[in-house]
């Protein structure tokens, strides 16, 4: 029999609603799983000590009113990336500068899930302030990849992705500024959505780069991500960039999938290319049209990103003054200091036009490239990452090499478009490979449509790590 903690969100909510099992059973088994294996993985930085009580409350609520339709996620436990504020639960952003910070309010996306009845299990490790692609920049130690404990889980939302992969929760929240939901989802063989910029409010998200940051779900299937996205999306009156979400795209009979040739160059690992190409062929065989397209500025994504993002970071990090909350600035981790210095440099007098302004123009080129391509095709299919998960320590001495881990994902953040990462295979040495679906602004429904179709045809997303 499947252990309850292994269930998808869909199955977990059905089971609780039909009283096949209780929220108490589900939360207890999930907590047991954390107690058993998290010392090997280091996904969790803090646990919600009230989770069991909240599960009992959910069960008694259900006893009172079986058709409690206002709480679609009633009694389901989830994990929250530690850059999202949680009322009464320590929120460190995985940085020593906030090692004693307990927020007095919830991030909007957290609050929406709590209002829907979901129960916080705990907070997950990430790169400090989400600056990184491996969790190696965390001030609280690296998270291990459940598929191979000598490798990174990706990042920055590495703890959130690894926790879903290892069935330490039913789903989790991550944030994506340059690939931080999609890249760890791919490395851990789970499904993750980076929503359109502004689809989900950033209120309560400890800001990294405000014109890039997107909170989003990491789950066990595209169907689960869709359920979660529909709950967390929408404006809240607290984030001026949050949009009233209305999907403008209709699912046509035959969707056309574009294959950007710049995402399949010789820099991309051969096994990754083979798995993604097989996935494309499968979709083609099942009614999707496939067309090669070109995004000529792809090679400029990371250079432009590493001007714009550190610039915004250097400004956002000014709030950590050690006065209202948190410790002194000397507690920042190395990568945090590195990015503040880089960003202060690119914004400093005499360099603004050369770096920030020029990169903002390149950002426009990116958006134009995507807009042009989306006139010809409905969606794009690409690999998520250039390589399978790398070894702990392999890239950590060379910041530029580490930055390249986001080469296939950061374009979506520059243009503000949504992206869905989902499992599409394994290397010969059993390391996960991921597929990325990109679409125009507010086309999440199309991403889910193709994602669900792919997961009906394949069972990659059902494979579990042996841990």
Q: Which residues are catalytic?
A: 81, 156, 180
For residue 85, give the nearest of 161, 173, 160, 153 by alpha carbon: 173
Question: Quick one: 42 or 396, whose CB is closer to another protein?
Answer: 396
Three-class SS of residue 293?
Answer: strand
Note whether 265 binds another protein by CB under 8 A. Answer: no
Number of residues in contact with another protein under rule CB under 8 A: 61
Least Cα distance to 105 among 325, 322, 315, 328 occurs for 325
Q: Which of 40, 261, 281, 364 binds another protein (CB under 8 A)?
A: 364
Q: Output DSSP code: residue 355.
A: I
**By C-alpha distance, which of 393, 436, 387, 390 is closest to 145?**
390
Interaction pattern, residues 276-305, with another protein; x per rule: CB under 8 A: ---------------------x-xx-xxx-
Min. distance of Cβ 233 from another protein in angstroms? Answer: 13
| By the rule CB under 8 A, 440 interacts with another protein | no
Q: How far apart are CA 448 and CA 373, in angstroms?
A: 20
Choice between 21 and 245, CB closer to another protein: 245
Does 130 participate in binding another protein (rule CB under 8 A)? Answer: no
Residue 428 binds another protein, judged by CB under 8 A: no
| Minimum distance of another protein from residue 145's CB (angstroms) | 26
Output 280 or 309, the one with its CB closest to another protein.
309
Q: Does 325 bind another protein (CB under 8 A)?
A: yes
Query: Is residue 405 part of the contact set for another protein (CB under 8 A)?
Result: no
Using alpha carbons, select from 272, 268, 276, 275 the residue that is nearest to residue 404. 268
244 is an interface residue for another protein by CB under 8 A: no
Shortest reach from residue 51's CB to another protein, in Å: 22
What part of residues 64-123 is at the interface with another protein (CB under 8 A)?
100-102, 104-105
What are the DSSP calls for 378-421, one per residue?
SEEEEES-SSSPPBTTSSTT-HHHHHGGGTTTHHHHHHT--EEE
- How many Å is the Cα radius of gyration of the chain? 21
Q: What is the DSSP string of 414-459?
A: HHT--EEEEEEEE-TT--EEEEEEE-STT-HHHHHHHHHHHHHH--
Residues written for the chain: 467
**Identified binder of another protein from the candidate list 67, 248, 330, 466, rule CB under 8 A:** 330
CB of 149 to another protein, least distance (A): 28
Q: Does 352 bind another protein (CB under 8 A)?
A: no
- Binding flag, residue 211, another protein (CB under 8 A): yes
Please identify which residue in 3, 70, 115, 348 interacts with another protein, judged by CB under 8 A.
Answer: 348
Q: What is the closest distance, in whole angstroms, from the C-beta atom of residue 206 to another protein in the complex?
A: 13
Q: How far is the CB of 272 from another protein (least distance, A)?
A: 23
What is the maximum span of the chain, computed from C-alpha positions, in angstroms?
66
Residue 420 Cα distances to 325, 345, 455, angstroms: 35, 34, 13
**Opening angle at CA 34, ends 31 and 36, nearest 5:** 110
Q: Which one of residues 399, 427, 445, 467 is an interface residue with another protein (CB under 8 A)?
A: 399
Q: Let me know: does 176 contact 207? Beta carbons within 8 Å.
A: no
Q: At what angle do helices 334-347 and 301-316 cross, to 10 degrees?
A: 100
* Block residue for tokens 């999707």: 288
Where does this chain bind another protein (CB under 8 A)? 100-102, 104-105, 196-198, 211, 237, 240-241, 243, 297, 299-300, 302-304, 306-307, 314, 317-318, 321-326, 329-330, 332, 334, 337-338, 340-342, 344-346, 348, 355, 357-365, 367, 399-400, 403, 414-416, 441
């Amino acid at each position: 029999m499947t252990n309850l903690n292994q269930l998808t969100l869909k199955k977990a909510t059905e089971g609780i609603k039909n009283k096949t099992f209780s929220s108490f059973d589900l939360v207890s088994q999930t907590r047991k799983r954390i107690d058993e294996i998290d010392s090997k993985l280091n996904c969790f930085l803090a646990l919600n000590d009230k989770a069991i009580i909240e599960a009992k409350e959910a069960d008694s609520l259900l006893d009172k009113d079986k058709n409690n339709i206002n709480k679609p996620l009633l009694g389901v436990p989830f994990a929250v990336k530690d850059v999202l504020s949680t009322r009464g639960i320590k929120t460190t952003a995985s940085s020593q500068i906030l090692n004693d910070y307990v927020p007095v309010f919830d991030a909007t996306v957290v609050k929406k899930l709590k209002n829907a009845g979901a129960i916080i299990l705990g907070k997950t490790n990430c790169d400090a302030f989400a600056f990184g692609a491996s969790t190696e920049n965390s001030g609280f130690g690296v998270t291990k990849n459940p598929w191979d404990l000598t490798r990174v889980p990706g990042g920055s939302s590495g703890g959130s992705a690894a926790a879903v992969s290892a069935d330490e929760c039913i789903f989790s929240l991550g944030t994506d500024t340059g690939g931080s939901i999609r890249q760890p989802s791919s490395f851990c063989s789970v499904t993750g959505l980076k929503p359109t910029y502004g689809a989900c409010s950033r209120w309560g998200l400890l800001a990294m780069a405000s014109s890039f940051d997107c909170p989003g779900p990491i789950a066990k299937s595209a169907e689960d991500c869709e359920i979660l996205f529909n709950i967390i999306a929408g404006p809240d009156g607290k984030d001026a960039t949050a949009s009233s979400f209305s999907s403008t795209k209709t699912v046509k009979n035959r969707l056309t999938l574009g294959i950007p040739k710049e995402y399949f160059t010789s820099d991309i690992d051969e096994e990754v290319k083979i798995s993604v190409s097989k996935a494309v062929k499968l979709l083609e065989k099942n009614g999707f049209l496939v067309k090669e397209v070109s995004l000529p500025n792809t090679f400029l994504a990371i250079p432009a990103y590493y001007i714009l993002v550190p610039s915004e970071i250097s400004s956002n990090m000014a709030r950590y003054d050690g006065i209202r909350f948190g410790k002194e600035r000397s507690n920042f981790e190395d990568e945090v200091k590195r990015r503040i210095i880089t960003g202060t440099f690119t914004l400093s007098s005499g360099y603004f036009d050369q770096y920030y302004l020029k990169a903002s123009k390149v950002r426009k080129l990116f958006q134009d490239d995507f807009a042009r391509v989306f006139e010809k095709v409905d969606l794009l299919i690409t690999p998520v990452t250039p390589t399978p998960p790398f070894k702990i320590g392999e890239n950590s001495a060379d910041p530029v090499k580490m930055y390249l881990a986001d080469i296939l994902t950061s374009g979506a953040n520059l243009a503000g478009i949504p992206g869905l990462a989902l499992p599409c295979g394994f290397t010969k040495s059993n390391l996960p490979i991921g597929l990325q679906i990109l679409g125009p602004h507010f086309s999440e429904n199309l991403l889910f449509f193709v994602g669900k179709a792919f997961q009906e045809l394949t069972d990659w997303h059902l494979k579990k790590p042996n841990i």
